[in-house]
Structure 1
Amino acid sequence: MATTIGTATEKGKAQAEEQAQQPKGERKPQRQRRDDKFKIFSGTANEALADEICNFLGMPRAQAHLTRF
C-alpha cells in the first residue's frame, strides 16, 4: 500500500512540475462545469463572493429557503 501512495505522490509531483514548466499561455483552458448534481449555496454568508465564485465556475447559485431558529 505504501508503494501506491508513493507512486501517486510522485505522479502528482511530476504533473505539478510539468505544469510549472509550461508557459501560462499554453495551459489548457478551463471548461465550464456541466454537472447537474453539483450546486453552490451561500446561505447567509457573503452572497457577493458566492456570486463571483459561481460566475468563475460558469454556473448559477442554487436557491435555498433559510429559516432561523
Structure 2
Amino acid sequence: MKLIDSKTIGKAAPIEKWVLAMEQALKDTATGVVEVPQRMHIDRGPNTLLLMPCFGEKYFSTKLVSMFPKNRLKK
C-alpha cells in the first residue's frame, strides 16, 4: 500500500483545480450531462458496503465505501 500525505496531494492537485472540478461536476449533474444513480447500500452483518456510481459520455467512476466497525478493535 502506498500512503500519500496531504503535502504531496496539494502539490499534485492544488485546491484551485479541485474547486473548478467540483464546480463543473455539479453543473454536469444539474444539466444531465452525467447520470448519478441512487447509491447502493449493502449490509452484511455489522459490515456495510456503499456503491456510488456516476456515468458520463466519456467516462464513468464508482466511489466505494466499506465500513467494518470491528476493525477498530484489532491491534
> Which protein is richer in helix relative to its size?
1
TM, length-normalised to structure 2: 0.29
> Which protein is richer in strand relative to its size?
2
TM, length-normalised to structure 1: 0.30
